[in-house]
Structure 1
Amino acid sequence: MPVYTVHAPSPAGADLRATDKFVFVRDGFHFWAMIFGPFWLLWNRLWLALIGWLLFIAAFHAGLSSLGVGRSSIFFADVIIALLMGLEASSLRRWSFSRGKWRQLDVVVADDEDSAEHRFFERWSQKQQGIVNDQWAVDRGGPPPTRNVPGQQFSSPPPLPAGGIIGLFPEPGGSR
Structure 2
Amino acid sequence: MPVYTVHAPVMNDAGIRAADRFAFVRDGFHFWAALLGPIWLVWHGLWLALIGWIVVMVAVGIGMAALGAGGNAIFLVDILLALLMGFEAASLRRWTLSRRNWRQVDIVVAEDWESAERRFFDRWTAKQRTLVNDQLAVDRGGPPPTRDIPGQPFSRPPPLPSGEIIGSFPEPGGAR
Shorter-chain TM-score tier: 0.7 to 0.9
Question: What whole-Å deviation, never above 9, does each CA across 1:40-73 have from its counterpart, x for those lacking one?
Answer: 0010010000011011111110111111100011
Give the whole-Å Cα distance in 2 for the aligned partners of 1:151 and 1:124.
31
Q: Tell whether 2:91 aligns with 1:60.
A: no
Question: What whole-Å deviation, never above 9, does each CA across 1:86-107 have from its counterpart, x for those lacking one?
Answer: 0000000000001111111111
| 2:146–2:157 Cα contact (<8 Å) kept | no
Matched letter for residue 87 of structure 1: F
Measured at CA, do residues 139 and 10 of structure 1 come closer, stay the same or move farther in structure 2, by a change above 3 Å?
closer
5 Å matches for 1:2-151?
A: 2-12=2-12, 15-17=14-16, 18-129=18-129, 131=131, 134-139=134-139, 143-147=143-147
Measured at CA, do residues 23 and 75 of structure 1 come closer, stay the same or move farther in structure 2, by a change above 3 Å?
same
Question: What whole-Å deviation, never above 9, does each CA across 1:25-47 have from its counterpart, x for those lacking one?
Answer: 01111011000000000100100
| 2:7–2:105 Cα contact (<8 Å) kept | yes
Greater Cα offset, 109-118 or 139-148: 139-148
| 1:15–1:133 Cα contact (<8 Å) kept | no
Offset, 1:115: 2.0
Offset, 1:161: 4.5
Offset, 1:143: 4.3
Q: Structure 1 length normalisation: TM-score?
A: 0.82
Give the whole-Å Cα distance in 2 for the aligned partners of 1:11 and 1:152.
35
Secondary structure of 1:129's match? helix
Give the whole-Å Cα distance in 2 for the aligned partners of 1:50 and 1:136.
36
Matched letter for residue 117 of structure 1: E
| Shift >4 Å, 4+ stretches | 130-137, 139-143, 147-153, 169-172
Identity %: 57
Taking only aligned residues, the RMSD between alpha carbons, in angstroms, comes to: 2.9
Give the whole-Å Cα distance in 1 for the aligned partners of 2:147 and 2:125.
23
Matched letter for residue 77 of structure 2: A
Greater Cα offset, 142-151 or 110-119: 142-151
Q: Which runs of 5+ in 2 are unaligned?
A: none
Q: Which runs of 5+ in 1 are unaligned?
A: none
Aligned residues: 173
Give the whole-Å Cα distance in 2 for the aligned partners of 1:145 and 1:168.
24
Secondary structure of 1:128's match? helix
